A and B are shown apart, each in its own frame.
Chain A
Amino acid sequence: MSDPAAIGLAIDSTTAEELSAGQATPTGTGGGGSTDKPRGLLGDAWHDLRRKPMFWIAGAFILLFIVMAAFPSLFTSKDPGYAVLERSRQGPSSSAWFGYDVQGADLYARVIYGTRASLLVAVLSTVGTVVFGSLIGIIAGFRGGWPDSLLSRIADIFFGIPFLLGAIVILFTLNPPGANRSEFTVLMIVVTSLVVLSWPVSMRVMRASVLATRNADYIVAARALGASTSRIVMRHLLPNCLAPALVYSTILLGSFIGAEATLSYLGVGLKAPTQSWGIMVAESQDYLRVSPQLLLFPAAFLVVAVLSFVTMGEAVREALDPKLR
């Protein structure tokens, strides 16, 4: 089984990235309070975030999903793998809130237990894609010249690989049918293949905004002051280039849950007994007309999860832009 700490880790690294992208002001965490105390961008952003209801609502949902992923047994006492064929596709009832699936397993339990794999894949792939792509994008955009040409061409090569075909090839090679890999290994292989195939877009996004910002007057001014390259990147370039990457990553999150579902459906991704929303959505499609609840319940969870992350990303992006305050 995958360890729940991994989710916490993934979330941590997102926020850490946002943090380091702002500025490391010593007074940053203090927040608002007196107007006389010097504040930095991060302090102001936090001060602003605290007063946004959308931030708290999205945060609460994300927290709920994290707890759900870490301790699914808190939410249900049923075993998602226990199936009795005679209750196949029974509708919602007091004994099974969401009804039963085709195999006769409790749908609610499956949705709860599916949170972990779905979120892990989505969050890890998003973080991996955005961090790796942005890093390459910053290097390419900031260095320019031949490193830029080289990295851009490499990105073009990966960009040219059809997503689904590439993923099938990678997964078949690394996780051939019959190889009894552990659940966590399969999950990491799925994450890796998603990252490998989708980093070029986030690299392009980051490179474009770095190129637009690189020659800004305030960067020249920082150089004239004698600022080091790392300082220019961390304090001047990143905070001003982050917004597009942040927006893109929230969109990416939803599409990765879908991508995981597609791969599972094709039989190269996660496999039973692993539970995931993607697997459930894929399974439901044959019974869409007769038992729509098979699709609706996992899809509802998926939508709420994606929406929470999108809202959170939006709130953070707005908070980091002083002009929108």
Chain B
Amino acid sequence: MTEPILQVTDLVKHYPVTRGVVFQRTIGHVRAVDGVTIELKAGETLGVVGESGCGKSTLSRVLMNLEKPTSGSVKYRGKEIFGLRGAELKKMRRQIQLVMQDPYTSLNPRMTVGDLIGEPFEIHPDVAPKRDRRGKVQELLEVVGLNPEHINRYPHQFSGGQRQRIGIARALALRPEIIVCDEPVSALDVSIQAQVMNLLGRLQKDFGLAYIFIAHDLSVVRHLSDRVAVMYLGKIVETGTEDQIYERPTHPYTQALLSAVPVPDPMSRQTKKIIRLVGDVPSPVNPPSGCRFRTRCWKAQEICATQEPELIDRAEDRHPSACHFAEAREIVVSHEAGTS
């Protein structure tokens, strides 16, 4: 359990920005993912949070080998995934599956549920013999809490939550080790979110899955994650266990994010100190020098503009945080806590 099954080292993905119609010149790069190092152990959940445009979805696509990275490596069980071809690539794909964000567009509208969930078996025929497939599909429908008799229905006949369950069943079909969840609940109603989250939690227990759980909602991530990585402008600014990130965050960005989480208790809400970030996320084409967060940070000083803070353990609390002035700060987040 301690050996990491997925090792991501210095992953960089830049998209060229071109100008011109016939003769295209590259005038810059969108630094969507800019040096991300994470690792995932078997059976654990790594939450990745960050606001829109910080490179979370690009990270998921590169991890799925849907896009080639500019540099860096992703190793699955010690094997570099980007060099794989043909049968080896197919074998790797079996082990890493994807649940997409929007359940309304991620299912082919012209395929029945049976065909959608059965497709992984058709692509990887060695997983299940032909005559067992229908049974397997119905089994999967049952596992994700859908009626197995709905095998002949089309996606448009289901609600958003049910469609996301179909997506999860499809990802589950090949019994993968890792499922990359790219904001799997953000398109759903809050009440349905909880159901899908609980389903994901139960499946993890039953099948020993490891999740990379990407979301912009901190409370959603906390519910499932063992470890959390906070992303800002293509870089990871702080990582640690769920407890470290949520109870003792040291990076100002994490603190700002956490302070924005709505608190259901009106008493503690009044005493809560909200950190309001001003301005927008800087353009990833031309990120600020030094610390990328310095343009919106209240602690920023001279050194932040010149020297990029490394993601290392800071004295305050023993977990990596990329801030020169990392320090703990009391923040009200948990539903129970009410101090200020």
Interface size bucket, A side?
Answer: 20 to 34
The residues of A that contact B234 with a CB separation of less than 8 Å are: none
The 3 closest A-B pairs by CB, nearest first: A226-B93, A322-B154, A217-B106
Structural contact, B93 and A35, CB atoms closer than 8 A: no
State A39–B149 Cα separation when bound (angstroms).
Answer: 12
Structural contact, A218 and B152, CB atoms closer than 8 A: no
Q: Interface segment, B110-118, B241-249, B288-296, B309-317?
A: B110-118
* Residue A10 is within 8 A (CB to CB) of chain B in the complex: no
Q: Interface segment, B44-52, B96-104, B223-231?
A: B96-104
* Residue A231 is within 8 A (CB to CB) of chain B in the complex: yes
Interface residues of A (CB under 8 A from B): 22-23, 25, 35-41, 44, 216-218, 220-228, 231, 235-236, 239-240, 320-323
With a 10 A CB-CB cut-off, give which of A25, A221, A226, A320 has the most chain B CB atoms: A221
Q: Interface segment, B119-127, B252-260, B268-276, B300-308?
A: B119-127
The residues of A that contact B98 with a CB separation of less than 8 Å are: 221, 224
Please pick, from B89, B110, B120, B174, the residue contacting A320 in the complex, using a CB distance under 8 A.
B110
The residues of A that contact B106 with a CB separation of less than 8 Å are: 217-218, 220-221
Structural contact, A217 and B93, CB atoms closer than 8 A: no
The residues of A that contact B100 with a CB separation of less than 8 Å are: 217, 220-221
Given contacts A40-B115, A322-B156, contact A240 B108 (CB under 8 A): yes
Structural contact, B110 and A239, CB atoms closer than 8 A: yes
With a 10 A CB-CB cut-off, give which of A227, A235, A322 has the most chain B CB atoms: A322
Give chain A nearest CB distance to B139 CB in angstroms: 14
Structural contact, A35 and B152, CB atoms closer than 8 A: yes
Please pick, from A44, A217, A227, the residue contacting B123 in the complex, using a CB distance under 8 A.
A227
Please pick, from A25, A36, A222, the residue contacting B149 in the complex, using a CB distance under 8 A.
A36
Structural contact, A217 and B154, CB atoms closer than 8 A: no
State A236–B90 Cα separation when bound (angstroms).
Answer: 19
Structural contact, A226 and B124, CB atoms closer than 8 A: yes
State A40–B122 Cα separation when bound (angstroms).
Answer: 14
Structural contact, B66 and A224, CB atoms closer than 8 A: yes
State A97–B98 Cα separation when bound (angstroms).
Answer: 69
State A323–B124 Cα separation when bound (angstroms).
Answer: 29
State A236–B154 Cα separation when bound (angstroms).
Answer: 14
The residues of A that contact B105 with a CB separation of less than 8 Å are: 216-218
* Residue B324 is within 8 A (CB to CB) of chain A in the complex: no
Structural contact, B151 and A38, CB atoms closer than 8 A: yes
The residues of B that contact A321 with a CB separation of less than 8 Å are: 110
Structural contact, A23 and B66, CB atoms closer than 8 A: no
Please pick, from A38, A222, A235, A240, the residue contacting B112 in the complex, using a CB distance under 8 A.
A38
Q: How many A-B contacts if CB must be within 8 Å? A: 90
* Residue B41 is within 8 A (CB to CB) of chain A in the complex: no
The residues of A that contact B170 with a CB separation of less than 8 Å are: 221, 225
* Residue B107 is within 8 A (CB to CB) of chain A in the complex: yes
Given contacts A218-B105, A225-B123, contact A323 B94 (CB under 8 A): no
The residues of A that contact B174 with a CB separation of less than 8 Å are: 225
Structural contact, A224 and B108, CB atoms closer than 8 A: no
**How would residues 150 to 178 of chain B score, 1 for a CB under 8 Å from any chain A CB and 0 otherwise?**
01101010000000000100100010000
The residues of B that contact A222 with a CB separation of less than 8 Å are: 108, 119
The residues of A that contact B145 with a CB separation of less than 8 Å are: none
State A41–B112 Cα separation when bound (angstroms).
Answer: 7
The residues of B that contact A39 with a CB separation of less than 8 Å are: 112, 114, 152
User: What 15 new A-B contacts, CB under 8 Å, besides A41-B115, A226-B123, A236-B108?
Assistant: A22-B110, A23-B110, A23-B111, A23-B115, A35-B149, A217-B100, A218-B107, A218-B108, A220-B100, A221-B100, A222-B108, A224-B98, A225-B93, A225-B174, A323-B156
The residues of A that contact B151 with a CB separation of less than 8 Å are: 38
* Residue B64 is within 8 A (CB to CB) of chain A in the complex: yes
Structural contact, B120 and A225, CB atoms closer than 8 A: yes
Structural contact, A44 and B112, CB atoms closer than 8 A: yes
State A158–B107 Cα separation when bound (angstroms).
Answer: 38
The residues of B that contact A235 with a CB separation of less than 8 Å are: 108, 111, 119
* Residue B262 is within 8 A (CB to CB) of chain A in the complex: no
Structural contact, A225 and B64, CB atoms closer than 8 A: no
Give chain A nearest CB distance to B232 CB in angstroms: 25
17 contacts between A and B (CB under 8 A): A23-B115, A38-B151, A41-B111, A217-B102, A218-B107, A218-B108, A220-B66, A221-B100, A221-B167, A221-B170, A224-B97, A224-B98, A225-B174, A226-B94, A226-B124, A240-B109, A322-B154
State A220–B174 Cα separation when bound (angstroms).
Answer: 17
Structural contact, A231 and B123, CB atoms closer than 8 A: yes
Give chain B nearest CB distance to A298 CB in angstroms: 40
Structural contact, B110 and A322, CB atoms closer than 8 A: yes
* Residue B134 is within 8 A (CB to CB) of chain A in the complex: yes
Give chain A nearest CB distance to B231 CB in angstroms: 21
Give chain A nearest CB distance to B160 CB in angstroms: 14
State A216–B156 Cα separation when bound (angstroms).
Answer: 16
State A44–B100 Cα separation when bound (angstroms).
Answer: 27
